[in-house]
Amino acid sequence: MEAQDVMTRDVVAVGPDTTVGEIAAILVRHRISAVPVVSGDQQLIGIVTQTDLAHRSETGTEKRRKWWLEAFADPDAKAREYVKSHGLKAQDIMSRHVVSVQQSDNLADVADALDTHRIRQVPVVSKGKVVGMISRADIVRKLAETRAAGTGAQPDNGTLQKAIWKEIKAQSWLKSAFVNLAVKDGVVELWGAVDSDEQRQALRVLVEGIPGVRRVEDNVGLFPKVVGV
What pLDDT digit, counting tens, does each position of 181-212 carry?
A: 999 999 999 999 999 999 999 999 999 989 89
Reply yes or no on whether the pLDDT at 152 is more than 80.
no
User: In this predicted structure, what is the pLDDT of residue 167?
Assistant: 95
User: In this predicted structure, what is the pLDDT of residue 69?
Assistant: 64
- In order of 86, 87, 88, 138, the CA distances from 57 in angstroms are 6, 9, 11, 33
Say what angle helices 136-149 and 107-116 make with each other, to 10 degrees: 140
Read off the pLDDT of each residue in 22-38 and give the average, rounded to a whole number. Answer: 94
What pLDDT digit, counting tens, does each position of 210-222 carry?
A: 989 999 999 999 9
- In order of 69, 138, 144, 179, the CA distances from 184 in angstroms are 69, 36, 27, 17
Cβ-contact 13, 26 below 8 angstroms: no
d(CA 179, CA 216): 14
Using the CB atoms, write b or e for 54-88: b if 16+ within 10 Å: eebeeeeeeeeeeeeeeeeeeeeeeeebeebbebe
Using the CB atoms, write b or e for 170-185: b if 16+ within 10 Å: eeeebeeeebebebee
d(CA 119, CA 110): 11
Reply yes or no on whether the pLDDT at 229 is more than 90.
no
Domains and CATH numbers, the chain: 3-145 (3.10.580.10), 157-222 (3.30.300.130)
User: In this predicted structure, what is the pLDDT of residue 151?
Assistant: 57
Q: What angle do CA 128, 133, 138 make, to 5 degrees?
A: 150
Q: Please provide the average confidence, as pLDDT, over all residues in the chain.
A: 89
Cβ-contact 134, 122 below 8 angstroms: yes
Read off the pLDDT of each residue in 38-65 and give the average, rounded to a whole number. Answer: 89
**Residue 117 has what DSSP assignment?**
T
User: In this predicted structure, what is the pLDDT of residue 19?
Assistant: 96
What pLDDT digit, counting tens, does each position of 167-183 carry?
A: 999 999 999 999 999 99
What pLDDT digit, counting tens, does each position of 62-109 carry?
A: 777 665 666 666 788 778 888 889 999 999 999 999 999 999 999 999
The helix (run of H) or strand (run of E) holding residue 84 is helix 75-86
- Residue 88's Cβ-side half-sphere holds a number of Cα atoms within 13 Å equal to 0
User: In this predicted structure, what is the pLDDT of residue 67?
Assistant: 59
Hey, CA dihedral for 155, 158, 160, 166, is it positive or negative?
A: negative
